[in-house]
Amino acid sequence: MATARKARELFTILETSADTESTTVCDSQDSPLNLSADVKWFEIPYRKPDSDEEDEVREEEEDGEGENGFTSTAVAAETADAASFIAGGGCNIILVTGSNGINHDEEEYAEDCYYSTSTNCSDTTSNDSDIDFSDVEEEERRSFFSFEDDLDEDCTSPDFWGEPDQVISIEPFSAVSGPQHSLGDDADTRDYFRILFPDSLFEHMVEQTNNYALYRQRRSGKSDPHWHPTDVREMRAYVGLNILMGINQLPDTGMYWASDIFIGNAGFKKTMTARRFEKLTQYLQLCDRESEPVRGERGYDGLFKIRPLLDVVENTMWDAYTPNRCLTIDKCAIVTKGRFSPTQYMSSKPLRKGLTVWMLCDSRSGYCHRTKIYVGKPTEDEAVASLSYRVVTSLVRGLEGQYHHIFMDSFFTSVPLLQRLLRDGLYACGPTQPGRKGYPEVLRPRNVGKLSQGEFYQCQRGNLVATVARDVRVVSCLSTNSAPGIVGISPGRQQRETDGEGESDSMDGSGLSFGVPRPLPLLLYQENMRGVDLCDQLRECYQVGRPCKKWWRYFLWFYVNLCIVNAYIIMRESRGGTPPAGFNGKQFTQRHFRVRLAQQLIGDYQGARGMERAARKRHADSPIEYGHRLERMSERSRRCRNCTNKGLRHESVFGCKICNVHLCRGGCFSEFHK
């Protein structure tokens, strides 16, 4: 940290490093900063106008003030000059205090109000929220409803918020973080995937699939001649084929088994037949359908069909990777074509219709630690009011007292929630809605008025800091990990040419133009609110599974895909970028990871085709007993398969539907089945 030109300078310039994180003005030497290396930021000291005698006393105490305190100034002009020097000649800093609202008349700038920053720097991108405000999942009432009422009972008091002149205290994060496993250097992709998706899940899928096939046949009263029980090897191969379908994408499942050499896939044909793949898809199941409680019964669970999967995967994802300091809470949407009551329509999203899942992800790697599924609108008004509160507290359960920094969107951020997290030893930051209960009345739009670009105001109560600022749009923000009065200027686009002979005043020696100064909470939000987006980018590159009408299948393939992404992140961080043995490429990407994983799941399995051929030979003596019969196949005649094998050309509209061949009505039927 380099100080400015004079010992009694008003500002401190902090330059971050890509390897080490800088320190802020707080009680702790470790700061919550996670900014890029090019961000330059400085401190705006808070000043409340007092008498001349108090100013003189304050100037004498400046030299003895600690590093973590905010310095003051007796002359507002000196403040503006220093700010202009640091910002590169484009910023005018105005410090004003007060409690009766904020007015923008020039003669009232000397009155008491909260301080602001105005600038005429170039434009930058907005940090506004992109979250839709919609209802999320149904959950039973919990005991913390009364605790929430205790938290926000005083936040609406006029004395709750004070002036932004307090020193915040941030405890250092010292917990062990990163991948947690015992795999050696010889571990391959399947070993990392097994950490998150253990073999016990494949065994459970096999058991429930076989049971469901028998259950369906008992209900229909007919036996399925094309079905025979599956096993673990075949189920692994089935999942491996679904992973490969996300890499080699075709519009229809049957095209992978097409006879056209330019469309069909030889590997798919070798692994299993198209009919066997369809039968596995038809009877695939994760739960015991016979014991499923109906709606209204005691013990009813909206996620009963995937509950065994959730119980295993949620624990493995949490145990395989210890969370780092900065975490993100956001939602992702799963595209669906089926009918499911919790399906939401989001007009402002690229995916207009989908299922909602709330995710807790690492801000840097994108690893997903925990998820929470939306299962319907709560029926009680009290549950709706505390919905965002319940989602966040359930996602961060188990992190109490470890001093993580949680970044979330405006759907969640509220004064009671940040107070609860701060009491539990968790810091938080995120935009909020200015009309929410507890937000400072003086910072609401009707009292702030029209802000200039780069202008901001702040209020404080302990570590809790409320900010309203204007970048491209007006943003309201709450934070417990950011000191007030800290302004950062991030680099903008590089200017190609200038009209004059000299360069622009807003450019440094590297040719980067700096944009509008932003308060520290918005800078931290911009740099760390990307964990869920990183996870979605890795997950959406290669989809797993095919569209269907059953809603729970989308969640099944979503969690399979999520386990693949998490396994890839664990392998990448554990091996330091070193590819597994046997890989000859330059860089081991996620595509290589998926292909290698699918190949290892399939292995040398070729059982389905061999079993069907053996069954055909066993049933040749009595084909009618096993469902093979001569019947009308279509209105248009086709070539007889038996005659074609003998070099003859005869056509028929009859044939065997099980074998899917046309046969003559004479002796071709029995001759073909022998």
Tens of pLDDT, residue by residue over 64-81, are 443 333 333 333 333 334
Question: Would you state the structure tokens that stand for residue 91, as one six-digit string?
Answer: 């910023």
Look at residue 209 and tell me if it is in a domain.
yes
- Please, are residues 78 and 6 in contact by the beta-carbon 8 Å criterion? no
pLDDT at 593: 96
Which of 620, 637, 654 is the endpoint of a domain?
620
Choose among 212, 232, 234, 218: nearest CA to 282: 212
pLDDT at 48: 53
Q: Same domain, yes or no, for 650 and 594?
A: no
Structurally, the chain folds into a number of domains equal to: 2
Q: Same domain, yes or no, for 554 and 652?
A: no
Q: Same domain, yes or no, for 657 and 574?
A: no
Look at residue 222 and tell me if it is in a domain.
yes
Q: Same domain, yes or no, for 229 and 290?
A: yes
The verdict on pTM exceeding 0.75 is no
Alpha-carbon span 663 to 93, nearest angstrom: 90
pLDDT at 344: 58
Alpha-carbon span 388 to 460, nearest angstrom: 23
Look at residue 427 and tell me if it is in a domain.
no
- Please, are residues 418 and 480 in contact by the beta-carbon 8 Å criterion? yes
Three-class HEC string of 23-61: CCCCCCCCCCCCCCCCCEEEECCCCCCCCHHHHHHHHHH
Q: Same domain, yes or no, for 616 and 636?
A: no
Alpha-carbon span 550 to 565, nearest angstrom: 24
pLDDT at 454: 84
Q: What are the angstrom distances between the C-alpha of 282 and each of 210, 277, 278?
A: 11, 9, 6
Tally the C-alpha atoms within 13 A of residue 660's C-alpha that lie toward its C-beta.
3
Look at residue 153 and tell me if it is in a domain.
no
Low-confidence ranges of the chain (pLDDT < 50): 1-32, 49, 51-152, 381-382, 384-385, 493-512, 608, 610, 613-614, 617-623, 625
What 203-206 contacts at long range (C-beta under 8 Å, 24+ apart), as own/partner pairs, is: 203/232, 204/286, 204/308, 205/235, 205/284, 205/285, 205/286, 206/230, 206/231, 206/232, 206/235
- The boundaries of the domain holding residue 580 are 178-322+542-620
User: Coil, strand, or helix at residue 320?
Assistant: helix
Q: Same domain, yes or no, for 272 and 185?
A: yes
pLDDT at 628: 79
pLDDT at 365: 93
Q: Same domain, yes or no, for 653 and 551?
A: no
Look at residue 311 and tell me if it is in a domain.
yes
Q: Same domain, yes or no, for 192 and 311?
A: yes
Q: Same domain, yes or no, for 189 and 283?
A: yes
Which of 600, 620, 640 is the endpoint of a domain?
620
Q: Same domain, yes or no, for 253 and 304?
A: yes
The set of residues, in sequence order, having a beta carbon less than 8 Å from that of 594 and lying 6+ positions away, is 243, 246, 247, 542, 564
Q: Same domain, yes or no, for 563 and 662?
A: no
pLDDT at 41: 53
Look at residue 366 and tell me if it is in a domain.
no
Look at residue 443 and tell me if it is in a domain.
no
Q: What is the DSSP letter of 100?
A: S
> Which neighbouring-strand residues pair with 371?
359
Q: What are the angstrom distances between the C-alpha of 421 and each of 417, 428, 464?
A: 6, 7, 11
Look at residue 16 and tell me if it is in a domain.
no
pLDDT at 49: 47
- Please, are residues 321 and 178 in contact by the beta-carbon 8 Å criterion? yes
Q: Same domain, yes or no, for 242 and 194?
A: yes
Residue recorded with tokens 């100034």? 73
